[in-house]
Structure 1
Amino acid sequence: MINALNGYSSTLMMNVLANNGDRLQELSVQLATGKKSQNFSGLGKVVSQSLNLRSQITAISGYRSTIEQAQLQISVMNLALERIVEIGSDVSGSATATEFSMTSKNQSAGQAIADTYAREMLGLLDSEIGGNFVFSGTTSEIQPTVSFDEILYGKSGADGLITVTDERILADAGADGMGRLSLSTVGSTVTLSEQLTDFGYKLDAVTSTLSNTTVTGPVGSPPSIDIALSGTPNPGEVLNFNLTLPDGSTEIIHLTAVDGLSDATEGEFTVNGTPDAVAAAIESILAQKITENVQVDGEAASRIQASLDFYLTSGDGEPKRVVGADPATATTLDTATAAGKPTVNWYVGDNNANDSRDTATALIDKNLKISYGARANEDSLARQLAYVSAFSLPTYDQDSTLDKNRYTAFADAISSKLSAVQQDDVVKTVQTEIAVANKLMSEADERHMTTNSVLQTTSDEIVGIDNEEVAAKIMTLRNTIEASYQAASMMYQLSLTNYI
């Protein structure tokens, strides 16, 4: 055997054969793995560059994984928001399209649809992915909303939406049904004034074309309007009172002077008689028209505002309630806690003052963090839920003319609040903000894909091999080994068996 031979030549020949064998094994491993070395120490001077490239590739992989998870959540959120927008449009359309035809439950088909849609909206706001509720802020493990039945009727001693809205309607109407407006006449001067309260109607403006009449106001605190007659107005002249209702909408009480008998249903007052008599006629018709408006448009406005006060609880808020045992004489609106009236909190997720988007963030690049969180009770979402819920509440008598007017006014108000114009400032705002976050993530992901391709190519060039080159080296080495073996066998008359 070779290792049994003596002398310098035999040792040199043994080393050559051994080294060639080791080199052949090394090249064979390279060809099998596609790598120059199986450990970093074998890379020599380029090891630090290789490690740096691997670090960057790993970081990009992490960013892309974060983007994938965030975009999956955004996709779920967007689907829910798109459906919520559709619900708003559907309720808006059905509110005005449905005739005054009450079902056995004394509600219209449109109201029944609103009830179903309110429940669906709550389900959408409870959307989750992988056990995480996407509209619960930072408390993603908590289902953000309670059931619609609990919202309507309350639970465990806490009042629900029905109680809250009924209370507010009484508070805005006042004990005399005048919408918290006071009306009086002294001689030939009629005075209309606000009561000092959080509730009811507010005086916005007054316009007049009445001859022999001086109109002033609204002035003072609380504001008041005076209509002072120095003579009699002419038939056909008008007096308009612009009033702001509890939900911020406006109404105009339109009065017209006529000669002879007046028609109260048309808002007419007679100018026959003395200035004192005309002033008394104005007071009478104005009181009648305000009372009628409070029963119809005022009730609609009160119900809508009460629903908003119940649902708009963002920023660590809570439902608002009428303070006092008798709503008709109450003067203050405050939080449920301050009012001493336990009330259902429909949203039970994270509810601090921080921006809702910041409740979920994603680091999608070294210096780029994107916010994409949401809360079910942020104003734009809660506002639409308030309108839909409110429409599902009242009942009406099919045979009552007053109820027909009440329903028509309420349906028109709900339809207006949920109109396409209003939607631009409601749910679509959230959609837009989330869409911007999604776009930034997509752009970052595209950059990462391009960068990763370049880095991976560079890394492969450092640690990888040229298969054809290595194969050629193996063939050359095999030829060398074969030649070395033949030389050794002739020199030492070795057999293949002895060589091995």
Structure 2
Amino acid sequence: MIVNKSMYPLQTGFSVISKMQNQFANLQVQLGTGLKAQTLSDMGRDLPVSLSARSRLSTIAGYKANIEQVDLRLSFYDNALSRMDKIEGEARNSAVQGQYGSNNINMATVSSLSKARLDEMVTLLNSDIGGRYLFGGARTDDAPLPTTTELLEGSGSRVGYRTVLSERVMADLGADGIGRLEFSSDAVDPVDPTLPVTVTLSEDAMHSFGFKLTGDATASGNINADKHVDAGPPRLEFTFPAPPDTVSPGATVSVRLRMPDGESVTVSVKAVAEESTPPAVNEFKIGANAAETSEAFIGAMERSLKQVAAGELKAASSFVAAENFFNAAGEPVLRVDAGSPADPYSATSLRVATATDTVMWYSGETAAVSAIGMGRLTTGRDAGTVTLTQNMPVSNAHGFQIADAVSSNTAAVTAVRNAGPPVAMTVEIANNAALAANDTVTFTLSEPGGKTRPVTLTAVTGTAGPGQFKIGADAAQTAANFQEAMVRSVTEAAADAEGNPRQSVSAAVEDAGRVNYGMQANESGYLRLVRSLAAMSVETYPEVRSAADPNSIDLNPAKARFDAMARRQQLELSESHNSEKGSLELVTMELGVARAGLQSASQRHTDYSAQLENLLSDVESVNKEDVAMQILALQTRLTASYQVTSMVSQLSLVNFL
């Protein structure tokens, strides 16, 4: 018998022991780290699952970082809007009609308080987080507003709101301070006491400044009032009777005037037999003849107009100038065109301000077209003709431009673009009977950026829907229907061109979801606050009387102007604006919706991350108790293998025997 080691494969045994040693080492590492593998190559069939889960967790981590950043900004917005809402309430309560305070303290302090609130508003609107300015839309590198001093006083050769207001006040009041109105009389010289006298009150020219005669005038006590609204500036004529007829004591003349901000005021004067002591602003003495009475009437009307102009008209100028200077989205900054040589008192038009001569109050991202005001277009109608006109002064950087107009049935409707200025489109229903269903009128509007928007209106015989107008019984009715459809369609086109400020800044918070939270300082809520605070901050309320006669007539009524300013601020900051697009309340609600979406996305990510981490734990981690049991079992096998191999390696015939 031959006994040797060939009966037992030692090399194979050594190999098995080596593998068990490697396995033992791996189990020890798993026991120490809690992971199945230390490298990707060791993951085996679990590798795709691990890579996919880790990639998804990395994506979620990015979304969570976005959420944290946006949540920080929304927290700031929430605080800023809360403070702005308080500023709005404080401003409303600081100036109330009839509440002048002890020794008129409210009138003395309202200007400085308004300026302090304006400065706080500017600071809030120029706020930044980590160098990112938050109220300039997508333009985040620079502050969207200049300093309060620059806004009010200007900078270098560029004027601020105070100068724009001064120009507007001069243009509205006129050199004589009666609101750009003029008096003339047909009284003969020398006076003929046997003749009646007619006094004419008229606007000095066709323009938008000063008082506007509405044609609403009344007279009593033998004074005749006649209205003229024909060609040329509107005028009113008041005829005073000749003896033996005379004006009755107590007779009144009242004139209704419209101001630049759209509000109206009534100026009234009264005839008296004897003047009051001291004389009243609105009284005129009945003279011996029509010439004397009419002259006294002109004096009383001029005094009354000066007083109302110094109060109501100047207040209207303040808020209109604020509207011109603190321009809204889609509107240019406007100034009085003083002409050459400069004479604001006789100005007849506005001009577009430039960045070289006027401080631009807002430099952030903004829409070039606004839905309010139909994108700087105005519509009109006269019988069977409808017009669409670009607003003056024209700005190529703001609002729609009328590019073209065409009709599919020229025999029934003519559509013509007039070069202007201003550029206009005229649509005339030339033959209503020839107009048929599906006939169209198409006009093209172009935006400052070059994009064009064709607007097509289609004739129908039944109820008109979007983009349609109903054929009426005659040309006038069809024109009215066309105008209504045009206003609706142009407003929709303007709203689409304007867009939503919230979408100017957005962040991805999940695969199919973004949170929009852009903010622009020229939205209506901020704009109303800035305009009213600026107007109130530069106005003062001194009483102007003759130093020689403290009882003289005050033609610069401080309290009347304070009341006029307070009323306009109340209207500007009224809670009735809360439902308007861009109001503080609506913006706060929109940001609340954004924050709710942010929190929902964050919760979804938290839940999904937990699921993925559990999956990774199953794929990549080990149960240490199981590993310990495997190590113990493997250790026993290794010990037995070592002993058997050792015994076999020493086997011989002698040992065997």
Q: What per-residue deviation string (whole Å, max 9, x for no partner) do you get for residues 36-60 of structure 1?
A: 2223333333432332222222222
How many pairs align?
Answer: 485
- State the partner residue of 1:306: 321
Root-mean-square deviation over aligned CA pairs: 4.1
Distance 1:150 1:271, change over 3 A: same
- State the partner residue of 1:388: 533
- Asked whether the 8 Å contact 1:206–1:218 carries over to 2, the reply is no
Distance 1:10 1:297, change over 3 A: same
- State the partner residue of 1:414: 569
Distance 1:473 1:171, change over 3 A: same
- State the partner residue of 1:253: 266
- Asked whether the 8 Å contact 2:80–2:124 carries over to 1, the reply is yes
- State the partner residue of 1:497: none
Secondary structure of the structure 2 residue equivalent to 1:369:
strand
Greater relative contact order structure (CA < 8 Å, 6+ sep): 1
- State the partner residue of 1:443: 600
Deviation at 1:330, TM superposition (A): 0.1
Deviation at 1:290, TM superposition (A): 3.7
Deviation at 1:457, TM superposition (A): 2.2
Question: 1:206 is matched by which residue type in structure 2?
Answer: D
Alpha-carbon distance between aligned partners in 2 of 1:450 and 1:269, rounded to the nearest angstrom: 85
- State the partner residue of 1:86: 86
Alpha-carbon distance between aligned partners in 1 of 2:575 and 2:82, rounded to the nearest angstrom: 13
- Asked whether the 8 Å contact 1:312–1:383 carries over to 2, the reply is no
Q: 2:350 aligns with which of 316, 333, 346?
A: 333
- Asked whether the 8 Å contact 2:219–2:251 carries over to 1, the reply is yes
Secondary structure of the structure 2 residue equivalent to 1:343:
coil
Secondary structure of the structure 2 residue equivalent to 1:337:
coil
Alpha-carbon distance between aligned partners in 2 of 1:203 and 1:449, rounded to the nearest angstrom: 68
Question: 2:540 is matched by which residue type in structure 1?
Answer: T
Distance 1:277 1:373, change over 3 A: same
- Asked whether the 8 Å contact 2:281–2:304 carries over to 1, the reply is no
- State the partner residue of 2:633: 476
Q: 1:342 aligns with which of 357, 362, 373?
A: 357
Deviation at 1:118, TM superposition (A): 1.5
Alpha-carbon distance between aligned partners in 2 of 1:148 and 1:95, rounded to the nearest angstrom: 21
- Asked whether the 8 Å contact 1:102–1:398 carries over to 2, the reply is no
Q: 1:196 aligns with which of 201, 206, 216?
A: 206
Secondary structure of the structure 2 residue equivalent to 1:334:
strand
Distance 1:176 1:316, change over 3 A: closer
- TM-score of the superposition, structure 2-length normalised? 0.63
Deviation at 1:79, TM superposition (A): 1.8
After TM superposition, the structure 1 = structure 2 runs for residues 280-295 of structure 1, keeping only pairs within 5 Å, are 288-295=303-310
Deviation at 1:216, TM superposition (A): 8.5
- Asked whether the 8 Å contact 1:92–1:416 carries over to 2, the reply is no
Q: What per-residue deviation string (whole Å, max 9, x for no partner) do you get for residues 304-355 of structure 1?
A: 21122212254584353444211110011121239xx811223344456375
- TM-score of the superposition, structure 1-length normalised? 0.80
Deviation at 1:399, TM superposition (A): 7.0
- Asked whether the 8 Å contact 1:194–1:222 carries over to 2, the reply is no
Alpha-carbon distance between aligned partners in 2 of 1:454 and 1:225, rounded to the nearest angstrom: 82
Secondary structure of the structure 1 residue equivalent to 2:264:
strand
- State the partner residue of 2:27: 27
- Asked whether the 8 Å contact 1:316–1:351 carries over to 2, the reply is no
- Asked whether the 8 Å contact 1:194–1:202 carries over to 2, the reply is no
Deviation at 1:362, TM superposition (A): 0.9
Bigger drift between 452-461 and 388-397 goes to 452-461
- State the partner residue of 1:206: 216
2:522 maps to 1:377: yes
Q: What per-residue deviation string (whole Å, max 9, x for no partner) do you get for residues 162-194 of structure 1?
A: 111111111111234332345667867976658
Q: What per-residue deviation string (whole Å, max 9, x for no partner) do you get for residues 420-458 of structure 1?
A: 444664333333333332332222222222222223322
- State the partner residue of 1:498: none
Alpha-carbon distance between aligned partners in 1 of 2:171 and 2:514, rounded to the nearest angstrom: 48
After TM superposition, the structure 1 = structure 2 runs for residues 395-406 of structure 1, keeping only pairs within 5 Å, are 395-397=540-542, 401=554, 402-406=557-561
Alpha-carbon distance between aligned partners in 2 of 1:95 and 1:459, rounded to the nearest angstrom: 66
2:258 maps to 1:244: yes
Distance 1:474 1:147, change over 3 A: same
Q: What per-residue deviation string (whole Å, max 9, x for no partner) do you get for residues 238-280 of structure 1?
A: 98755432233x2331659889779996968999999999999
- Asked whether the 8 Å contact 1:179–1:200 carries over to 2, the reply is yes
Secondary structure of the structure 2 residue equivalent to 1:157:
coil
Q: What per-residue deviation string (whole Å, max 9, x for no partner) do you get for residues 108-167 of structure 1?
A: 122211121211211111111111111233331212222222222222111122111111
- Asked whether the 8 Å contact 1:203–1:243 carries over to 2, the reply is yes
Distance 1:358 1:18, change over 3 A: same
- Asked whether the 8 Å contact 1:387–1:414 carries over to 2, the reply is yes
Alpha-carbon distance between aligned partners in 2 of 1:475 and 1:204, rounded to the nearest angstrom: 106
